[in-house]
Structure 1
């Protein structure tokens, strides 16, 4: 029986299923232009990904290569990418660079770029045109929807039995930069009209956009129209092949005003609008390059918006954030950006110029890769081997997770049935992970610990006049959800449960006296 990939509800937890089985995306996203050449992919991407324990890759599809002439579609590149992935037993998430990529319309076909009358641009209040086709341009949105539907129909035709392609990302980091709102004639006219009935009902507001939403009107207006456009494109594609679809967000960050980040994009503050206007998306996913990544995951993971991290920093701390994403938030998946560079020497990494990173508020350390491959590979390998155990315990009080969130975050504290656990984080070190991990309560006195850069201490419950010690302490590995013991640790090793920089596993059996 064939199973189209889908998001199912597993005991209240949204879960990706591929070929009828739960699947956790242990992924990487490649650079924007890497997938434009199959030869380049063979020579510079696939070989660099070896040894990372990836099971998935996020790969761009470019509208300009698929429909170079209006109404004529070419799928050779798409077919080649699927073929390359199949040879390596890697699943794909295609990233549709359609109308919008990083707030601009840089990947639309040449015939659309040149016809600025039919496919009009968004404008600043001064009348200056942006390199962004307006989401109020119905002709452009319709063309994008047609192209996306052709792509989805083709993927179904060649891949439904294999399910190499699991998920589709619709557009990339949508919004307007340099202005909070589109002031093109069509946008001005729409902004002056009564707000849509669905928003009026949702917010209990009325009047035109400014009367209804005040200082937030411009960003809400753009969020609604971008979301409606993405919904039209997504529905057209899913009509042909109902793969799970999502879109991603360039985060709201300093200096915090709409237009300094892409106004109208699916940042957390406008999820209410996006969820209303684009219900076909299974989630709104954060792209995370900031140093407070764990806080962002906390913010974007909530009921109705399962956590998926399609782009994230790729320095050594990414392995810690990966463990937290799955352990704390039952993530659909995790995917550092520029994954093909993890196989390179650190000095060979092509970093954005400092002025670009400063302009985009990107933390430069996010592109440092020293140690990253080894730490991430180990974490991905552990996640794969933990899968049966993880599926059994996730979403229950018997699985707890921690991650150091800031320089003033020193540890965590967990209360289990018979014992409490205090976790102290190791100091942050260059090219090392952060304190992070998971602990499974297997029985009232048995625990399995997976983590790094942390010191753990089990203790009695408050008010108990007893001491706690070890019946058994083992190092070892997890293989297909089962504990495979290594050394039995005693003596000095029991004085402190210390997890080093490389993620490791410990089995603990306790008693009180």
Structure 2
């Protein structure tokens, strides 16, 4: 093996691998015995292939208050010759992340990346007998490896297992690498399913019992689309794919989803057998009105989550990549009791609404992490994202202490897919107080150019004490129970937490800053924290 750096030499005893733990209704990532909130960013797809290219970026990313970088690892670099592994890229990434006090999530670009099979080694690309392609209706092959081929799965498993074993060897104590993404945006294009010989035989066969058993056991909690599709055929528990799900394109997509899920599950099991890190599959979402194949068919899309949960129980999370305006609607479909929320690609890093989305996902839905795409492209001009991440970094211990315990809420104006902004005030009860969060002047509500960028979080840290962070929010308050009198501000301090987690107070806000005690406000364009104590009076 090449690329075996000093990382592998004289390491202390193994630490417990990073893993997911339950706190109340939330799942948290625990690293070296402590919960961790992933304040993250994902590198561009080619950036991690060059240590020289990345060299000037690492410190800038840490200075932006990231604690985690999502970095692709390409099969073609890891195994350029079959059976001979080169870990140079992996070792360089681990070395440089450690040097800058950053964690890593590796993205395994194996058999598929954005549906296509362009990151596989040359020896896979050129051997179409061993590694058959998916085919169209007319038999024409596409540059997508067939999920039906046992040889493709076996080779992908060997490569991922070798990667995980190496990570365990060089990083089993430090836990620089905390999670792994299995493949990237799986899905079939430009048709709903593979029409190759193996796929054709499977399409004519029986629906696997595991799938119909899952649908039966979870019939009351299935997503609406799956419930309707299955019920349309009488909720049959046996038969061909056409008999159980109908003969149309929706049935073909369920078929595709099942075999992608099974492939991903078997791949995940092989990786975890070598080193048991949390693993997730990311999602290329579909636009309204598009048909399967016009978007990547069969990925873990919102309407196919149940198929993936049935077919890939080893996967810890199904995680959406979100480039559409209706962020709030999308993340709420992926926050489930059986699916902790992680957003690996939350639009491009320079998108103005990314920071507000981070506050909503983390504060409202207990996300274990959040990371916009192409993060290194903005590290010289991070602007609002760097300021927002600064606030999240300061609040992280308090966020982690509150997750799953009804002590926190997140806020942002809701946008529809057509970019219509619904910016009416939102309400949350936290502890003994009811909070109303507005995104416009509460006396004269009007949309401004900054309204869509607003975001906020409220975290309870004591019986009457709260941390309010964000930008562009105005918070009013009242007792949570009717008849409980009125609520007032005892004290409101702006300030920040230092590197040791100690609160350093700035100004005591009163009078004009609180509208004579009527509200807490963080102006648009500013990202800050206020520490507020409330009281009651008749």
Per the normalisation by structure 1, the TM-score is: 0.89
How far is 1:418 from its partner? Answer: 4.4
Q: What secondary structure, in the 3-state scheme, does the structure 1 residue paired with 2:269 have?
A: helix
The yes-or-no answer on 1:405 pairing with 2:424 is no
Q: 2:314 aligns with which of 269, 273, 280?
A: 280
What residue in structure 2 maps to residue 421 of structure 1?
Answer: 435
Residues in 1 aligned to 2:211 and 2:198: alpha-carbon distance in whole angstroms: 20
How far is 1:316 from its partner? Answer: 2.4
Residues 42, 441 of structure 1: alpha-carbon distance in 2 compared, 3 angstrom cutoff: closer
Kept in 2, the 8 Å contact 1:123–1:129? The answer is yes
Kept in 2, the 8 Å contact 1:222–1:264? The answer is yes
How far is 1:131 from its partner? Answer: 0.8
What residue in structure 2 maps to residue 487 of structure 1?
Answer: 507
The yes-or-no answer on 1:392 pairing with 2:401 is yes
Residues 440, 244 of structure 1: alpha-carbon distance in 2 compared, 3 angstrom cutoff: closer
Kept in 2, the 8 Å contact 1:433–1:453? The answer is no
How far is 1:430 from its partner? Answer: 4.9
CA deviation map 1:26-80 (0-9, x unaligned): 111101011111111114x325424211111111111111111111111112111
Residues in 2 aligned to 1:461 and 1:305: alpha-carbon distance in whole angstroms: 30
Kept in 1, the 8 Å contact 2:118–2:143? The answer is yes
Kept in 2, the 8 Å contact 1:316–1:432? The answer is no
The yes-or-no answer on 1:75 pairing with 2:87 is yes
Residues in 1 aligned to 2:244 and 2:95: alpha-carbon distance in whole angstroms: 51
The yes-or-no answer on 1:210 pairing with 2:242 is yes
Q: 1:127 aligns with which of 139, 157, 178?
A: 139
Residues in 2 aligned to 1:448 and 1:59: alpha-carbon distance in whole angstroms: 33
The yes-or-no answer on 1:499 pairing with 2:522 is yes
What residue in structure 1 maps to residue 342 of structure 2?
Answer: 308
Kept in 2, the 8 Å contact 1:471–1:511? The answer is no
Kept in 2, the 8 Å contact 1:433–1:452? The answer is no
The yes-or-no answer on 1:191 pairing with 2:203 is yes
Q: 1:323 aligns with which of 351, 359, 364?
A: 359
Kept in 1, the 8 Å contact 2:24–2:405? The answer is no
**Structure-to-structure mapping, 1:16-31, within 5 angstroms:** 16-31=29-44
**Structure-to-structure mapping, 1:54-453, within 5 angstroms:** 54-203=66-215, 204-214=236-246, 215=248, 216-313=250-347, 314=349, 315-344=351-380, 373-406=382-415, 407-416=421-430, 418-426=432-440, 430=449, 434-453=453-472
Range with bigger deviation, 248-257 or 89-98: 248-257
Residues 118, 461 of structure 1: alpha-carbon distance in 2 compared, 3 angstrom cutoff: closer
What residue in structure 2 maps to residue 353 of structure 1?
Answer: none
CA deviation map 1:394-448 (0-9, x unaligned): 2233322211112123220123554432211136655786222122344554333
What residue in structure 2 maps to residue 14 of structure 1?
Answer: 27
CA RMSD across the alignment: 2.1
How far is 1:463 from its partner? Answer: 5.4
What residue in structure 2 maps to residue 370 of structure 1?
Answer: none
In structure 1, runs of 5+ residues without a counterpart are 346-372
How far is 1:485 from its partner? Answer: 2.4
Count matched residues.
Answer: 485
Range with bigger deviation, 447-456 or 158-167: 447-456
How far is 1:497 from its partner? Answer: 2.7
What residue in structure 2 maps to residue 512 of structure 1?
Answer: 537
How far is 1:225 from its partner? Answer: 0.5
Kept in 1, the 8 Å contact 2:157–2:270? The answer is yes
How far is 1:82 from its partner? Answer: 1.1
Kept in 1, the 8 Å contact 2:408–2:458? The answer is yes
Residues 25, 405 of structure 1: alpha-carbon distance in 2 compared, 3 angstrom cutoff: same
In structure 2, runs of 5+ residues without a counterpart are 1-12, 216-235, 416-420, 441-445
Residues 409, 491 of structure 1: alpha-carbon distance in 2 compared, 3 angstrom cutoff: closer
How far is 1:374 from its partner? Answer: 2.8
How far is 1:108 from its partner? Answer: 0.6
What residue in structure 2 maps to residue 350 of structure 1?
Answer: none
Residues in 1 aligned to 2:508 and 2:72: alpha-carbon distance in whole angstroms: 48
Kept in 2, the 8 Å contact 1:456–1:497? The answer is yes
How far is 1:468 from its partner? Answer: 4.2
What residue in structure 1 maps to residue 225 of structure 2?
Answer: none
How far is 1:392 from its partner? Answer: 2.7
